[in-house]
Structure 1
């Protein structure tokens, strides 16, 4: 589809809204022009849909309208909510008595920071719509956080204009199918232009919508590479959680979280805190799950996903879901937001994978390119030992044997501190095999209960998680 055809499709959506005399509302945009409003006016017939458009660029003007921000962060969720609160209340209070009874009111708002000539800033924004989904109903909200990936401000404004039209159109036409709303957000945009890394549905029509699943759908449909949940289970914007943090990440499937995982975290955190000049008050420990471990074919087991997140949250973990299979891609993602220390905890069996050349097929520079991208600065892999099942021998970084032709590369990484062997491990945990634990869970109660935290075993049994059988 040509650029012109894409523009016409966006304008057609705007026109469809304009020609529906029941839909009426306001559009307010701060930070990157008024592209959403422009699309509605350019489509024609906007007088039938738009009661008001506005931009309040000056901070004092914005504060006068929406109230001051204590944090002085004007591109924030709280600012967006103040905009929606004021604009929706204003239009409904003023016009409900005079508009036809079949009117469904809406307010669209956006506060963004686009590419600037004066500074190198994170180009992102908060967009949202508050909308009546039938006449006289209490309103529902759809809130979105986006990153703009174009290299110039004009292109970013154009992309935001398309996303805004898509959001308004989808809110009215697909409100019974939230996943369809998500997929519609980037209609008529190349994948490299907009990343959507948070979405939140609330209100009467979305009371049964599980926002964690909706955000997982963002990764599943490649609208973003990663999503994050706080220990309380709330969806978080990755940039806000990761900004200038020292990050320690443990990758796993967590089916379920075992006492072995807890010991890996404890040992890894002890070593991480010993890094020179590290600010221990700014350490963020993440439990990361890859999408590949959540899907069978192209299908996600929703209950399995929610169970894993719930179990990790009960142990105080911040949870990350990503579509990064290779470790250097994960490191590149973190480097968007922080130049502080990075640590990744992994079992020695994963080290075997990292030193397998076939793992890097398709990468032009092969394993050398991957290592150059994994270890350029402040990045370490913390290696947790295992016991050989045959000889009961402890396999550590000191007796690990990479392929012979990669021996020198292994020694180089080890001698320069890129690979760090974990010590002070609890050897009584080394017999725990998470795959075997899962198999035992599916047979009912048993010895597996001693291999997971007590609160986790109770959760699995009471909620019959992970295929638990009560026979």
Structure 2
């Protein structure tokens, strides 16, 4: 057993890889297949080495040749192999084979499983570090249906052999956690990094399904990935489900809006719509290859201390209900968000924001950790093909602040002018004057105080959803009121 210091509170024992594999092997009821494509037989090797594997491993295989792999699992529509669809075909195929070949009559207590991965390790030029899909389909009761845990990883190491070893450790942790930690999915998630460092790999998507996980909210599990530092950002599609960011952002023009969206208001949607209308008219912006992203940074979620997970769920749910794609990130600074997007696209990007956000961008205190300070940050931010769409702010006296009269720190004046007059900052002019006075904090206070009228400050359907599901502490007997 390894003993590691967990924080500064207590010692926690972490089972060795051999201990984990041996516990699986010595469970006479666990029986299944290992199918690993693209990075060797690194996971099953741990189980062979541990001993006692003959009663656990039905088969171990690698279909490295593409033609042979296609003959077994079929041909993907996109002709790709390192995909979620490929992984799920592998899991289904291998489970079906076990079910066909091992009769329940002869083995009534067997809990079948299939572990699979399809992975691309680092290329010879070391230009692409590699990524992969890993999953397990399994039972914990022979009389129940199958459960699935599927995740996507991105390698960070620069050596193919090291990446293979990392994959083997992750796979062992996943199989062990699936059988022995399934009733604590948040802990299962953390245990995936047993004997691993976060500098070795990133897990940016995970989904649980099946009877064991009926109560698991995969969006909440995604939040854990970001909270635990396993990834910098996770994404939800408009249907509310987790989605791989690379799949959504690859080679797209991206328009991003950052906010707390607590809750999303008419002014947020006006900012989105008006900036979108401007963005799609830009040169080099293809309407059919444009993706809008509503981003919530954890620095906002932590504004009042530890993250309130239910509060997070409420915000994401409302944005998704409006048909939006949501990104939850660890990026406090905008330049980090732009760098993140740049992993997936070289196309034009836009940031839609209010006056206060732009003033913050020109605040030097956010860049003291950079050796090049604010200039380094701005080089990373505006070096890309990026434009800021600025939404005006209304003062108490009714006057407006826009790019022409906003005030940054005196030392930043010339820098601001440089970007402003080089077309990197443009004003949103066709805004709805009737919504300028709407603020999320006003809506929240009205909800908390049980006052009327806040419904009119929100996009259609949002107030109804807040009432129906008692979001943000809303209490009402008639969910339809106010719509």
Pairwise TM-score range, normalised by the shorter structure:
over 0.9
Establish whether residue 177 from structure 1 lines up as the match of residue 168 from structure 2. Answer: no
Determine the structure 2 residue equivalent to 1:163: 170
Give the whole-Å Cα distance in 1 for the aligned partners of 2:322 and 2:16. 48
Determine the structure 2 residue equivalent to 1:422: 428
Give the whole-Å Cα distance in 1 for the aligned partners of 2:339 and 2:301. 22
* CA offsets 1:347-374 (integer angstroms, 9 cap, x no match): 1011121111112232222211111111
Determine the structure 2 residue equivalent to 1:91: 98
Task: Please show how residues 353-372 of structure 1 align to structure 2 within 5 Å.
Answer: 353-372=360-379
CA contact (8 A) 1:443 1:468 kept: no
136, 146, 154: which is aligned to 1:147? Answer: 154
Cα offset for 1:93? Answer: 2.5
Determine the structure 2 residue equivalent to 1:348: 355
Give the whole-Å Cα distance in 1 for the aligned partners of 2:425 and 2:320. 29
Cα offset for 1:296? Answer: 6.5
Determine the structure 2 residue equivalent to 1:463: 469
Distance verdict in 2 for CA 1:76–1:160, change over 3 Å: same
Determine the structure 2 residue equivalent to 1:314: 321
* CA offsets 1:277-308 (integer angstroms, 9 cap, x no match): 22121110111111233347764333322221
407, 411, 414: which is aligned to 1:405? Answer: 411
CA contact (8 A) 1:445 1:470 kept: no
Work out the number of aligned pairs and report it: 468
233, 241, 252: which is aligned to 2:240? Answer: 233
Give the whole-Å Cα distance in 1 for the aligned partners of 2:298 and 2:284. 34
CA contact (8 A) 2:129 2:157 kept: no
* CA offsets 1:162-184 (integer angstroms, 9 cap, x no match): 11000000001101111111111
Give the secondary structure class of the aligned counterpart of 2:449: coil
Determine the structure 2 residue equivalent to 1:197: 204
Determine the structure 1 residue equivalent to 2:481: none
Determine the structure 1 residue equivalent to 2:438: 432
Determine the structure 1 residue equivalent to 2:9: none
Determine the structure 1 residue equivalent to 2:8: none
Determine the structure 2 residue equivalent to 1:254: 261
226, 244, 250: which is aligned to 2:251? Answer: 244
Determine the structure 2 residue equivalent to 1:301: 308
CA contact (8 A) 1:289 1:321 kept: yes
137, 141, 146: which is aligned to 2:144? Answer: 137
Cα offset for 1:8? Answer: 8.9
Give the whole-Å Cα distance in 2 for the aligned partners of 1:53 and 1:439. 59
Determine the structure 2 residue equivalent to 1:447: 453
Give the whole-Å Cα distance in 2 for the aligned partners of 1:102 and 1:260. 59
Compute the TM-score of the two structures, normalised by the length of structure 1: 0.95
Give the secondary structure class of the aligned counterpart of 1:227: strand
Determine the structure 2 residue equivalent to 1:334: 341
CA contact (8 A) 2:123 2:129 kept: no
Determine the structure 2 residue equivalent to 1:38: 45
CA contact (8 A) 1:443 1:469 kept: no
* CA offsets 1:375-411 (integer angstroms, 9 cap, x no match): 112012211111111x321101001121111111000
* CA offsets 1:194-218 (integer angstroms, 9 cap, x no match): 1111111111111111111111111
Give the secondary structure class of the aligned counterpart of 2:137: strand
Give the secondary structure class of the aligned counterpart of 1:320: strand
CA contact (8 A) 2:14 2:194 kept: no
287, 298, 301: which is aligned to 2:294? Answer: 287
More displaced stretch, 345-354 vs 13-22? 13-22
More displaced stretch, 96-105 vs 191-200? 96-105
Alignment RMSD (CA, Å): 2.1
12, 23, 29: which is aligned to 2:36? Answer: 29
CA contact (8 A) 1:174 1:180 kept: yes
Distance verdict in 2 for CA 1:457–1:466, change over 3 Å: same
62, 78, 83: which is aligned to 2:69? Answer: 62
